[in-house]
């Protein structure tokens, strides 16, 4: 949901990504007309696209239930543009995230070819070549956050099928928080997560939108994640239909995922992945009576790649591996990657935090060999609700990294900022609450806020939270 979307006819009004943050309250708590217009209709389901088009990358923060808020890409774009020979060398590729990943991959492959040809034919490119030590011709570097990494992988598959030289024209691919093996969060969204404390109206609107979108079904977990007690199973299209999704879209997504991991499928050239760790993250799920229950545990494999079992009880071995709050850490890296950088960051912050951006810049300028060891050992996690009631206190909890303990909150600061202006509106006093470190916060009025936690030795943690007026019926 990181690209703004607009209608292509009539007033060409924006449906997603408006500059006025008050629109979020209308979308999720008010009439919600723009959300209804984002549903894929029958014409689009049959492949006749064009009713909605991308209007650029997000320039302002946004929010959707279950997703902890969506940060804009202005910091990432500035980092990339500042690192290259000329801003004209950079193409910001926005796409209609409602559509199948495979469709957007084909569009990216075409756009990348056009962009590289145009840049190589420019005078600015000629000047840059003369200044480079070996005067080599430019090649592509693709920087992709979240679903963008799946779109990138689909682009290389499309190009290879057409006999294109996209792989040869690419120096490297950098992915940040990409769910290569899918995300349990997609199943939670499709199921509506009736066990969550979210107000009913935003939760139901997100579920109603998601069940029509191939793009959401393409994010379903592609690994054994269904806890059946004595075994761990894959999520099937019938399971998806039972929890509220679309069986046909789930089957198509599963077929696409299988083709992406088939022997001989093209890889990502020079792939580097930046992966968020230490954040509480759904890694598996239980299905009971058509309801999906997220679990913050994953399952171990033995030396033969089989499911590891406890010798005494014979049950699968469960372990918390955490992730970035949205993507389980082991789902965000591909075997064969040239390098993986682990950072204790939330999903949205991976495309915004200074440490992550420094890694992106180093890769772009071919100085990543000087970065030293990857960060990410240790760190703390941030456990917040998606939305809260304005004017009512609630707890922002800190969690230790898996296998560690949080013994003190000394040197840790928590603050609340207006998401649009970044103005500080409150400071949270950390203390012990029911055995965990937490800060009692109150968001003064309905709107979008950024919670920021700063501690020594790790990047700042941030997460967006929406405050609602729950006196209105929802």
Give 20's contacts (C-beta < 8 A, 6+ positions apart).
none
229-268 per-position pLDDT tens digit = 999 999 999 999 999 999 999 999 999 999 999 988 999 9
Burial class (CB in 10 A: 0-12, 13-18, 19+), 111: middle
Burial class (CB in 10 A: 0-12, 13-18, 19+), 24: buried
207-239 per-position pLDDT tens digit = 999 999 999 999 999 999 999 999 999 999 999
How far apart are the C-alpha atoms of 38 and 225, rounded to whole Å? 30
Average pLDDT of the residues in 357-386: 79
Q: Which of 333, 329, 354 is nearest to 277 (CA)?
A: 329
Q: Which of 223, 220, 225, 224 is nearest to 250 (CA)?
A: 220
pLDDT band, residue 369 (cuts 50/70/90): low
335-359 per-position pLDDT tens digit = 777 789 999 999 999 999 999 999 9
Residue percentage of the chain with pLDDT more than 70: 96
Boundaries of every domain in the chain: 66-377, 380-468
pLDDT exceeds 60 at position 375: no
- Tell me the torsion sign for CA atoms 250, 255, 256, 258: positive
Q: Which residues of 225-234 are buried (b: 16+ CB within 10 A; e: fewer)?
A: bbbeeeebee
pLDDT of residue 32: 84
Residue percentage of the chain with pLDDT more than 90: 75
| DSSP category for residue 189 | H
Average pLDDT of the residues in 155-184: 95
Return the CATH number of the domain spanning residue range 380-468.
2.60.40.10
Q: Are 88 and 122 in contact (CB under 8 A)?
A: yes
DSSP 32-56: -HHHHHHS--HHHHTT---SEEEEE
The CA-atom distances, in angstroms, between 85 and each of 129, 361, 464 are 9, 13, 34
pLDDT band, residue 472 (cuts 50/70/90): low
CB half-sphere exposure, 154, CA atoms < 13 A: 25
pLDDT exceeds 50 at position 376: no
Give 48's contacts (C-beta < 8 A, 6+ positions apart).
none
Q: Which of 452, 449, 462, 390 is nearest to 21 (CA)?
A: 449
pTM flag (> 0.85): yes
pLDDT of residue 371: 60
How far apart are the C-alpha atoms of 416 and 427, rounded to whole Å? 6
* 3-class secondary structure, 188: helix
Q: Of how many residues is the chain composed?
A: 474
How far apart are the C-alpha atoms of 361 and 353, rounded to whole Å? 12
How far apart are the C-alpha atoms of 245 and 300, rounded to whole Å? 28
pLDDT of residue 201: 87
Which ranges of 279-388 would DSSP assign to H, the alpha helix? Answer: 354-364
Q: Which of 303, 325, 305 is nearest to 463 (CA)?
A: 325
How far apart are the C-alpha atoms of 215 and 39, rounded to whole Å? 12
pLDDT band, residue 24 (cuts 50/70/90): confident
How far apart are the C-alpha atoms of 237 and 342, rounded to whole Å? 32
Rg (CA), the chain: 22
pLDDT exceeds 90 at position 179: yes
Residue tagged 């494999």 (tokens): 301
96-125 per-position pLDDT tens digit = 999 999 999 999 999 999 999 999 999 999
Max CA pair span of the chain: 70
319-330 per-position pLDDT tens digit = 999 999 999 999
Enumerate the β-bridge partners of residue 298.
319
């Amino acid at each position: 949901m990181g690209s703004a979307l607009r209608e292509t006819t009539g007033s060409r009004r924006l449906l997603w990504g408006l500059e006025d943050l008050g629109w979020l309250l209308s979308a999720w708590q008010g009439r919600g007309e723009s959300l209804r217009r984002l549903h894929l209709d029958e014409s689009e389901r049959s492949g006749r696209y064009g009713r909605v088009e991308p209007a650029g990358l997000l320039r302002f923060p946004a929010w959707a239930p279950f997703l902890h808020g969506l940060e804009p890409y202005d910091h990432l774009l500035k980092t990339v543009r500042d690192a290259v020979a000329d801003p004209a060398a950079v193409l910001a590729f926005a796409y209609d995230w409602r559509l199948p990943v495979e469709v957007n991959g084909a569009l990216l492959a075409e756009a990348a070819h056009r962009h590289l040809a145009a840049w190589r034919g420019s005078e600015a490119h000629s000047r840059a070549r003369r200044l480079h030590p070996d005067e080599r011709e430019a090649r592509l570097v693709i920087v992709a956050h979240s679903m963008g990494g799946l779109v990138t992988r689909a682009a290389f598959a499309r190009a290879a099928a057409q006999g294109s030289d996209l792989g040869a024209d690419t120096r490297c691919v950098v992915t940040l928080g990409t769910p290569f093996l899918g995300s349990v969060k997609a199943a939670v969204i499709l199921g509506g997560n009736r066990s969550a404390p979210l107000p009913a109206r935003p939760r139901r609107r997100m579920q109603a939108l998601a069940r029509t979108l191939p793009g959401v079904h393409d994010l379903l977990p592609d690994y054994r994640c269904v806890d059946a007690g004595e075994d761990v199973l894959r999520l099937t299209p019938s399971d998806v239909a039972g929890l509220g999704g679309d069986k046909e879209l789930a089957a198509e997504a599963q077929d696409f995922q299988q083709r992406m991991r088939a022997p001989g499928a093209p890889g990502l050239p020079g792939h580097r992945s930046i992966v968020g760790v230490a954040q509480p993250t759904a890694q598996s799920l239980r299905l009971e009576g058509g309801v999906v229950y997220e679990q913050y545990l994953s399952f171990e494999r033995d030396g033969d790649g089989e499911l590891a079992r406890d010798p005494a009880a014979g049950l699968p071995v469960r372990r918390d591996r955490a992730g970035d709050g949205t993507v389980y850490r082991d789902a965000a890296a591909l075997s064969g990657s040239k390098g993986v950088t682990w950072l204790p960051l939330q999903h949205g912050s991976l495309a915004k935090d200074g440490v992550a951006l420094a890694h992106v810049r180093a890769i772009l300028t071919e100085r990543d060999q000087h970065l030293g060891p990857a960060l990410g050992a240790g760190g703390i996690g941030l456990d917040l609700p998606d939305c809260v009631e304005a004017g009512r206190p609630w707890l922002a909890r800190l969690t230790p990294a898996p296998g560690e303990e949080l013994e003190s909150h000394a040197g840790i600061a928590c603050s609340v900022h207006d998401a649009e202006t970044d103005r500080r509106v409150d400071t949270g006093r950390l203390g012990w609450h029911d055995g965990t470190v937490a800060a009692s916060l109150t968001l003064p009025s309905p709107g979008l806020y950024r919670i920021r936690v700063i501690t020594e030795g790790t990047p700042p943690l941030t997460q967006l939270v929406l405050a609602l007026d729950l006196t209105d019926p929802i």
